[in-house]
Amino acid sequence: MAPGTATMTAGPARAVRTSLSITDNRTGRTYEIPVEDGTIRAMDLRQIKESPDDFGLMTYDPAFMNTASCRSRITFIDGDKGILRYRGYPIEQLARHSSYLEVALLILSGQLPTRAAYDDWLFNVTHHTLVHENIKEFISGFRYDAHPMGTLLATVGALSTFYPESKQVHDPLVRHHQVCRLIAKIPTLAAFAYRHSMGLPYVHPDNDLSYCGNFLQMMFKIGAYQVNPVLERALEVLFILHADHEQNCSTSAMRSVGSSGADPYCAAAGAIGALYGPLHGGANEAVLRMLREIGSKDRVPAFVKDVKESGGEVRLMGFGHRVYKNYDPRARIIKEMADLVFTVTGRNPLLDIALELERIALEDDYFLSRKLYPNVDFYSGLIYQAMGFPVEMFPVLFAIPRMTGWLAQWEEMLEDADQKIARPRQVYLGAGARDFVPMDRRPVQEK
């Protein structure tokens, strides 16, 4: 049987290991649906009808809790075991031995690069870091205190108008140019967005510095500025950890917008919008706010009690994950990184509250029974704050490295013959057909 085709059988289905037998109790008919890679195709359910004019069976899956929207070869997560791998390589090894740009090329190309391929990539990214002077004028139109994530979203989207050839999304060479541009320019746009919000003059990219070193100087340089190698490496590791995370909310937005054939700047602007939300990229900002509100270690038990008694309204930010039902492996690496960063910056006083929160939560059945463990955001905000980044920059610091994942997933989507424009179905529960009533004849509605 060709993959993805289903057959209806008159009697009980012959159970084979690669299929699922479904009996429709409304009609008594049995269907044999192929099982491929642990999934059935939702379209195979469409043939299951109560009557010939029935639309056919659909699945109802709000928030995509159990629906695979694509086949991917980029990132593997085992949420129960706490495993994360990019292209097969464990995140721990990449964080220890690699650089962000090497990991970016690995994620985009599928292979650890040769020296020549890496040098070529490095040269390309380094020489695309400048942005058109018009971008500065564009940014100056934002209010003096504009949130840098809003400015970033708008400027990334605006790049679409600077590179109209980017609309040729099915040309791999054109795509490659936009990938280089977006990865190279996003730190510049991010730093400009920050400096605008602070009323500071922009600092141009320095091509003699590393990707992260250059970003740090564009952010913080006022007069002489020396990049601290410990902080530079810490940022490198944080960028590696955030580079991709398979089909999360913002990546799904990237794929979804891109599926209409929109250019990557528009699709990435959509992804940045998704990342901006407090349940996604805004969570580490919320963690810091929460730690500040708690205020001291001795108030941790009372806060945990509030969380448990709130019926889900008060959340322990930086805890829990849709996929990880174990310690997020990224959180473990970040926790180790915090000690290193604090040797340079001094200890962040909120760390003690965070450690106490983690200790108490991980002894409490409320969190254990729901498999709520620290996620990537629990400690990252503490490091970013110690490094001098204001909380408004936290989602921006997430968006910079995630650009790699978004672009890799976008390209994979475009090259996947199974993909079409993303367009979910709905279960309509609204009013049936009714006739228009002129305004003066409509009944008065009670408030």
Contacts 24+ apart (CB under 8 A), 296-302: 296/353, 297/352, 297/353, 297/356, 300/353, 300/356, 300/357, 300/360, 301/360
For residue 79, the surrounding DSSP H or E stretch is: none
Among 175, 321, 332, 402, binds ligand ACO (CB under 6 A): 321
**Among candidates 324, 306, 288, 322, which has minimal Cα distance to 360?**
306
Residue 169 Cβ vs ligand ACO, minimum distance, rounded to whole Å? 27
- Give Cβ neighbours of residue 158 (< 8 Å, ≥ 6 apart): 135, 138, 265
Provide the mask over 376-415, with x wherever binding to ligand ACO is found by CB under 6 A and - wherever it is not: xx--------------------------------------
Q: Which is nearer to ligand ACO, 214 or 284 (CB)?
A: 284
Region near ligand ACO per CB under 6 A, out of 51-59, 115-123, 201-209, 278-286? 278-286
In the list 317, 333, 399, 407, the residue contacting ligand ACO (rule: CB under 6 A) is: 317
Token look-up 């400009």 returns 192
Chosen residue from 82, 187, 320, 381 binding ligand ACO by CB under 6 A: 320
Within 319-436, residue ranges assigned H as helices are 329-345, 350-361, 365-369, 377-386, 394-414
Residue 254 interacts with ligand ACO (CB under 6 A): yes or no: no
Does 305 interact with ligand ACO (rule: CB under 6 A)?
no
How many angstroms separate the CA atoms of 119 and 113, rounded? 9
Cβ of residue 88: shortest distance to ligand ACO, in angstroms?
22
d(CA 355, CA 367): 15
Q: Is 279 in the site for ligand ACO (CB under 6 A)?
A: yes
Binding flag, residue 368, ligand ACO (CB under 6 A): no
Q: Which of 99, 151, 247, 375 binds ligand ACO (CB under 6 A)?
A: 375
Q: Across the strands, what pairs with 7?
A: 32
Q: What does the DSSP 8-state code read for residue 39?
A: B
Cβ of residue 261: shortest distance to ligand ACO, in angstroms?
28
Residue 317 CB, shortest distance to ligand ACO, in Å, is 5
Smallest CA-to-CA distance from 366 within 278, 321, 322, 306 is with 306
- Cβ at position 65, least distance to ligand ACO in Å: 8
Q: How far is the CB of 378 from ligand ACO (least distance, A)?
A: 7
What amino acid positions are annotated as catalytic residues? Answer: 280, 321, 377
Among 240, 283, 288, 354, binds ligand ACO (CB under 6 A): 283
Does 315 bind ligand ACO (CB under 6 A)? Our answer is: yes
Structural tokens at position 307? 């969380």
Q: Does 191 engage in binding with ligand ACO (CB under 6 A)? A: no
274 binds ligand ACO (CB under 6 A): no
Q: Which residue number is nearest to ligand ACO in terms of Cβ?
A: 320
Task: Write out the two tokens for 279.
Answer: 């349940």
User: What is the Cα–Cα distance from 274 to 447, expressed in whole angstroms?
Assistant: 35
Check binding of 243 to ligand ACO (CB under 6 A): no
Q: Which is nearer to ligand ACO, 49 or 280 (CB)?
A: 280
Q: How far is the CB of 283 from ligand ACO (least distance, A)?
A: 3
Q: How many residues does the chain have?
A: 447
Residue spans of beta strands (DSSP E) within 75-140: 75-78, 83-86, 89-90
Task: Please tell me the count of residues contacting ligand ACO according to CB under 6 A.
Answer: 18
Q: How many Cα atoms are found within 13 Å in the side-chain-facing hemisphere of 281?
A: 28
Exactly one of 41, 204, 280, 325 binds ligand ACO (CB under 6 A); which one? 280
Q: Write the burial class of residue 236 (CB in 10 Å: 0-12 exposed, 13-18 middle, 19+ buried).
A: buried
Q: How far is the CB of 372 from ligand ACO (least distance, A)?
A: 5
- Smallest gap, in angstroms, from Cβ of residue 82 to ligand ACO? 13
Q: Which of 101, 316, 351, 397 binds ligand ACO (CB under 6 A)?
A: 316
- 3-class secondary-structure state, position 15: coil
Give the residue with the Cβ less far from ligand ACO, 79 or 110. 79
> In this structure, what DSSP letter does residue 221 have?
-
Pick the binder of ligand ACO from 86, 121, 220, 319 (CB under 6 A): 319
Q: Cα Rg for the chain, rounded, in angstroms?
A: 25
The one among 187, 258, 318, 329 contacting ligand ACO by CB under 6 A: 318
187 contacts 400 by C-beta, under 8 angstroms: yes
Closer Cβ to ligand ACO, 276 or 319, answer by number = 319
* Contact in structure between 220 and 387 (CB atoms under 8 Å): no
Q: Which is nearer to ligand ACO, 34 or 401 (CB)?
A: 401
Binding site for ligand ACO (CB under 6 A): 279-280, 283, 307, 312, 315-322, 370, 372, 375-377
